[in-house]
Chain A
């Protein structure tokens, strides 16, 4: 069954465009009656001194434009390249687990992120939107956000990561349910020449990177980089398989991981070209999906290629626009060995797409209006399942669909310290129909030191091709699936006190409906997705941050939350009630060396089998010496310093109810800049 090319009905988009034209015409005739205010809340910018001004962070992902963190209608965290280096974070998962609200589970195939108490089995991080320099990386088959070594960019090339919590579907559409994570890469300017790095780590892991970056005299900024890694992996013991027939529960050579990554960016004038690629091969040592335990043939290979060309141009009277065309290809090859001496079963999932988007922004008197439109043609969404040798096709699916979205947002300066955000996005999918995602926010900044935010919004996640159409021995299709929705209400308060200290508190209330949930069909024992259940979650967060621009800096956060099924009032699995996180960075006073310490505590989590995964504290310690040995930059990190044994709840496909996470391990890394 193949979808014929069909463009989804667009009358409402037409109406939208006409409406916008009228709005623009009305506004154009009335503009310039009063001059635009100097700033959305300029009263306090004037009273700030240079040191305060230098602390203001500018982020992009909140409303698709550079803004002060304070003015973004969300709870925002920014992690910089310096923090990544000083703490020895290896992956995006390493970064996310240090942020309030986020927690990571690794099933030894992929890393999964839970956010605000929510992490469902079978969800390939499809409830967060992961962007690379503003470009969507979630694929068009599983909507997967890859946050482990399967993430598309080497962490060394990350300039900073913006994490915008809460629903941002009013701007971004699909997947922006719990958070939008925008990874911004370095420009060639920050390298100014060639750079190489080499890594050695526990479990026979060796990695290398070669990069070149430069801004040329004609203002062209160029960066190219390639990374490779090879890891033998661990010898793992799973008590669930402790039988003589399954190697007494020991998986010997089944935890290997290999990857390669490429990134190229070029910027000149308003043009920006970006191409990136990742290929990762990971052995699956857990015997999941009923595979033969300790068979190194069982593995997954994930690949993602993205390319985009964008153009941004500012116009006078505070107006600007950006346009982008992009293309992508995602590949998933799974190999599952079910019996010794027999040919394994193979999955091939390939997605290909191209898309275009256009945004425009304009300040008109006390309004700052952003409108945008997006189109994506998912011209290939294919999946098959076959016997490797001889080739026997068990099942094959070939889809072709498209989607578009239009959005508008207005930021209104009601009076000097009070900003009102009102926006909505309309999305139309060929597969299921349409979704409307509104958002409103009030931001009150009585002084440069205090910020209060009240935020409410609705977001959706479209059922993806894998959830709707996968049809094989393991999965059963459901063509009736509708999007799941989330409605949220959030209060955020931030207070700067003297000495670079910032206090923050926030509270959230989330309601999820028509949840896309995986269950096992009792008639044929296959996994099937359905819209079922309503989930409510509420929580409180407190944070303390210290950053004086010099000397020690750090963050301490605490989250208290409860997430439950609204009908049964039973708490969800894999949902810790409490979390606390600490990050400290201290200069050692010699050769700019720093010591980084981070620790994460999580309370108990319920598992699928009704057991309790006990809480744990995991501590990591890192030493960074940028200049001790001439031009060599050296870092050494010990992960899980105290060797704490802890686990993460398994999913439906696992025999293990709790999957053991990594014990103590180390990494040493050196970089050389010519």
Chain B
């Protein structure tokens, strides 16, 4: 059997995984189960942040969470929060584009990867008392409020208390007790928790 024939057989082996993916669109990175755990974190964060009194008009209003960008964690967060409640308020999830208004939004999950777009969303969030949550070591030290990351095989998170203060949000001490605090004003902190 010739080497060329072998190569064609290797090509046949490749067909198997490729076939499974037929029709799937390109998007962001994150394994599925990790995404679901992160989504559960996002839900919990919402319970430990106080918004300024003027953020709510009446107690029955929906709690609006926006998701910018796509990927596994964004999808999992959307599914996780849909039909859930925070106190008396039903959570309403909106998938929006990076340049859409955050008016009426209380929290935004940023899964956008273009750094210019991210900056735009974070600036809008800071101006409008919106809690910004994202992924990666750099998220909370580059203007975001809560950054989810993986350390020691577990999901961990950083909170930038300066950014929270700028946005007029009060983060519960219970949440702060569980995490590493970063200060965007002081630049990046070293080391992992």
Contacts and interface: CB of A to CB of B under 8 A. Distances in A.
B17 A360 contact: yes
B29 A320 contact: yes
16 contacts: A17-B12, A20-B20, A38-B76, A46-B80, A48-B40, A53-B40, A53-B44, A58-B153, A65-B31, A66-B31, A80-B152, A159-B153, A189-B192, A320-B31, A358-B14, A371-B17
Contacts of A56: 37, 154-155
A319 B24 contact: yes
A39 interface: yes
A577 interface: no
B26 interface: yes
Interface string B13-44: 11111111111111111111110110111011
Contacts of B178: 50-51, 54
B155 A53 contact: yes
Contacts of A190: 191-192
Nearest to A358: B17
Contact of B29 (A5, A270, A359): A270
Contact of B12 (A14, A50, A317, A363): A14
A65 B32 contact: yes
B186 interface: no
A533 interface: no
Contacts of B150: 58
A605 B132 CA distance: 60
B153 A361 contact: no
A402 B10 CA distance: 12
Contacts of A381: none
A269 to B, nearest CB: 8
Contacts of B43: 46
B75 interface: yes
B176 to A, nearest CB: 11
B84 interface: yes
A503 B103 CA distance: 49
A67 interface: yes
Interface in A69-110: 71, 78, 80-82
B71 interface: yes
B175 interface: yes
Contacts of B13: 13, 17, 358, 373-375, 404, 406
B44 A160 contact: no
A370 to B, nearest CB: 8
A371 B21 CA distance: 10
A24 B22 contact: yes
Interface stretch (B1-9, B56-64, B118-126, B161-169): B1-9
A312 B26 CA distance: 12
A57 interface: yes
A316 B32 contact: no
Given A13-B13, A54-B154, 6 more contacts: A23-B19, A24-B21, A39-B76, A42-B79, A57-B154, A192-B190
Interface residues of B, number: 58
B16 A20 contact: yes
B4 to A, nearest CB: 10
Interface in A268-318: 270, 312-318
Contact of A192 (B31, B71, B191): B191
Ranked 6 nearest A-B pairs via Cβ: A360-B17, A7-B6, A66-B31, A38-B79, A316-B27, A373-B13
A7 B1 contact: yes
Interface in A601-643: none
Contact of A45 (B20, B36, B192): B36
Interface in B57-99: 70-72, 75-76, 79-80, 82, 84
B79 A319 contact: no
Tell me what chain A mostly uses at the interface: helix, strand, loop, or mixed: mixed
B27 to A, nearest CB: 4
Contacts of B21: 24, 315, 319, 321, 360, 362
B33 A40 contact: yes
Interface in A4-56: 5-7, 10, 13-14, 16-17, 20-21, 23-25, 28, 35-40, 42, 45-46, 48-51, 53-56
Given A5-B3, A160-B153, A317-B25, A49 B12 contact: no
Q: Which of B17, B32, B43 has the most CB of A within 10 A?
A: B17
Interface in A105-129: none
A538 to B, nearest CB: 31
Contacts of A28: 22-23
A316 B26 contact: yes
B17 A321 contact: yes
A42 B77 CA distance: 12
Given A38-B76, A50-B41, A368 B32 contact: yes
A587 to B, nearest CB: 16
A42 B155 contact: no
A474 interface: no
Interface in A372-387: 372-375
Given A50-B44, A313-B26, A314-B28, A189 B17 contact: no
